[in-house]
Amino acid sequence: MKKDAQGRCFGDAFDVEKIVLQVAELLKDKKAKDIIVLDLEDLTSITDYFILATVNSSVQTKALIRFIEEFMHQNKIKPFLKNEGHDSPWVLLDYNYFIIHIFLKEGRDYYQLEKLWTDAPIVYSDKGGLL
């Protein structure tokens, strides 16, 4: 469980992996592409999971953010940090235990987070579901 600089945990206890996989499925249902979930728990202290997805437009980005925020609200999970630059090629939603990265294709190609975290096990892919 991740903590802030003062050692505080955020939100009520919840099954992080279950929520992460539900978010991945929500992204898939809403037509995001190239969705993968990386398990970073043993590799870094910043978060437990990265969820990466590619979208076709900033309009789709805004819609996905709205769906994610509604889902999180229903599950009583508050964001730790939110990047509001919806017109950016990369939008980041930080929920402390997991970080959601929504990319336009050019942003995904440019930043290549998968290559930076090649040691991280992939626990979900939209190509094959749970791995």
Domain ranges of the chain: 16-125
Q: What is the pLDDT of residue 80?
A: 87
- Confidence tier at 88 by pLDDT (50, 70, 90): confident
Q: Return the CATH fold of 16-125.
A: Beta Polymerase; domain 2 (3.30.460)
Min mean pLDDT across 33-37, 95-99, 124-128 is at 124-128
Q: What is the pLDDT of residue 118?
A: 94
CA neighbor of 32 nearest in space, from 113, 119, 91: 91
CB-CB contact of 126 with 35 (8 Å): yes
Confidence (pTM): 0.85
- Confidence tier at 4 by pLDDT (50, 70, 90): very low
Structure tokens at 22: 């539900």
| 25-48 pLDDT per residue, tens | 999 999 999 999 999 999 999 999
Look up residue 45 and give its amino acid.
Answer: S
Q: What is the pLDDT of residue 85?
A: 65
